[in-house]
Every structure is written in C-alpha cells, then in structure tokens.
Amino acid sequence: MDSALRDHGGDLDAALRRFGGDAGDWLDLSTGINPVPYPVPPLSRHAVAALPTKSDMARLRAAAAACYGTSVHVTPLAGAQGAIQAVPRLMAPGRARVLSPTYNEHAAALRGAGWTVGEEKAPDALAGADCAVVVNPNNPDGARHDPDRLAALAERVGLLVVDESFADPEPGLSLALRLHQGPQNILVLRSFGKFYGLAGLRLGFALSSRAIARTLADMAGPWPVSGPAIEAALHALPDTGWQAATIARLTRDAARLDRLARGAGWPLVGGTPLFRTYATPDAAAAQEHLARRRIWSRVFPYSPHWLRLGLAGSPQQWHRLAAALDQPPPSSQA
C-alpha cells in the first residue's frame, strides 16, 4: 500500500499544518477513541519504576480473559497495532485477503512483509486465502458479521484474523466466547485504548490457540507492554459498572451525533457506538468546513463522500459541534 494511503485518524498535526492554530484550539473527532476515559487511580511506584514481572503479566492475562469471556490464550501487546504488525510474521508470506474497505494497516502490514494481498468486498471471497482478515464491527462503515459465520469461514482459510477493536460496546459480536470450541486457526485482536479512552497507554490483546500465542509472545519479547498500562488495565478490565454505564452513554451520544448529522443533510453510512460515518456531497469540503471551526474529522482516499466523526465528550464540545453542523458547507445544502 502506498504510504499516502496509509493514513489514520488522530493526525492533528496535518490539521495544524493546513489550518493553523494550536493543538489546544482543536476538537479532534477524527478517531474512534472514547472521549471520556476510564478514571485511572494514581499509579504505584512499582508501575512506573520497575520492569513488569511475570506475575504482573499473568494477572493482566487473567483479567483480560475474564473481561472478554474467553478461556483461550491471551497475549498482551502494544495495542491491537502490535498484533497487526506481528500477523505477517506468523507464517511464510503467501496469499492474503482482507475484507474491505477497512482499517488500512492490515493490508499495509501484510504487503510490507511480502504477502500478496487482495482486498475483497464479501466474506465468502476470503475463502482459500492463506490469511484472511475481517474487522468486526468494521471501521469505517460499521458492517457487522455473525460470529458463527466467521467461525465457519475459518475452516476455509489458513489463518483467520478477526479485529474486534471496536467490539467492546457490542460483546455479542465477539468470537471470544466461542474460541475454545475451535477451530484453532483464529486470531482475535482486541484494543484496550479505544473503549477505555486510554489509547496513549498502547495496550491490546491477541486471543488465540496456544501455538499462535507462543509464537506471538516470542516475537513480542519479555516486556511487550508497560507497567502503567498493566496497572491501569487491572483497574479497568474488571470494572463492570463503569463498562455498563459507558456503553449506555456511548449509545446515547452516537444517536445524538446522528441527529446532528441528519440536520446537516448527512445520512448515516454506518458506524459503532464509538464513531459514525456519514455520506456527504463532498467529504473534502465537509472536512474543511469543520476544520475552519477547529474541528478535525476523518475522510478516506477511496471515497469522495464518506466522512467519519468520533463523539464529543463535554457539553462545551457538543455545543461547538452542533453550531458547526447547523451551518453545513454550501455543497451540503439543499
């Protein structure tokens, strides 16, 4: 994949270069990160001053397994991205197929490691691949795939990678609960930072068979995640009360964002409780309209119409967004 297409949300530097201002002036809605992060208590001296111990890692794996409802092996990594970078090295390069359009790092990482990558539109078209990748729910269109159908697809590919980075608000979508039933060639990726709003900690998990977990752990080395990430996760992962309240809030706020977008004449393409993607007459013009008001959004090189927005966090942020969407760019007006 060309480096120009390997773009991401969260690139506020690009907004500053194009439109000016200071970072503090901007409302960055270009990512799908929860804008109200988990309230991490003060970190212990051990978390910041000592190398993580084997017992620290064991507690983290156990907490993640309990949170995700799985009895298979859990490998902590530096975000879901850490697993995406490792996947191409799990076997010799071959034929990969990625259900697209989706998060561009999957295809990019595979191509960078020498894989031949096909980007397919339908799950059945992934059959026969040495490595098949599905993001569930998908980023950016929110497409959802039945876990049982994905398990059946695994029987028809060499390795099935299911990226569940946005599945926390919708646990019924996850393969985690049934991974112990097989097949053994499924690798599920989970992001900690997105749902818990702590992306800077760089923590994620790979759920897999023992054989895949051993290979991933060998590649990641003895200290794949930091002490602060471990300690924060040990507070957050068992906190079911916070999780339930957050899912309810995200669901309400996603509906609120949809109402604002409809008022601007932007119908919903799809999304998750953490982000929404809208069809605009001209995505570049819509992005620029918001950027002139110091609100950063996400557009995509493969669509001239899709614009993705994350959720605002504070009442003041919602007011700014509502005011900006109340006056859409001229091309969006009837």
pLDDT at residue 247 tops 60 = yes
Per-residue model confidence as pLDDT tens digits over 18-44: 999 999 999 999 999 999 999 999 999
pLDDT the model gives residue 240: 98
Residue in this structure with the two tokens 């060639």, named with its chain if needed: 185
Q: What is the spatial distance between Cα 110 and Cα 96, in angstroms, rounded to a whole number?
A: 8
Amino acid at 70: T
Centre a 10 Å sphere on the Cβ of residue 51 and count the other Cβ atoms it contains. 10
Q: What is the spatial distance between Cα 204 and Cα 144, in angstroms, rounded to a whole number?
A: 21
Going by pLDDT thresholds of 50, 70 and 90, the confidence category of residue 96 is very high
- Identify whether the C-beta of residue 253 lies closer than 8 Å to the C-beta of residue 274: no
Residue 103 is classified by DSSP as: -
pLDDT the model gives residue 20: 93
Going by pLDDT thresholds of 50, 70 and 90, the confidence category of residue 4 is very low
In what helix (H) or strand (E) does residue 310 lie, and over which residues does it extend? strand 303-310
Per-residue model confidence as pLDDT tens digits over 112-161: 999 999 999 999 999 999 999 999 999 999 999 999 999 999 999 999 99
Q: What is the spatial distance between Cα 263 and Cα 328, in angstroms, rounded to a whole number?
A: 9
* DSSP of 314-332: SHHHHHHHHHHHTS--GGG
Per-residue model confidence as pLDDT tens digits over 164-223: 999 999 999 999 999 999 899 999 999 999 999 999 999 999 999 999 999 999 999 999
Q: What pTM did the predictor assign?
A: 0.94
Edge-to-edge strand list for the sheet holding 73-77: 73-77, 204-208, 186-191, 159-163, 131-135, 95-99, 116-120
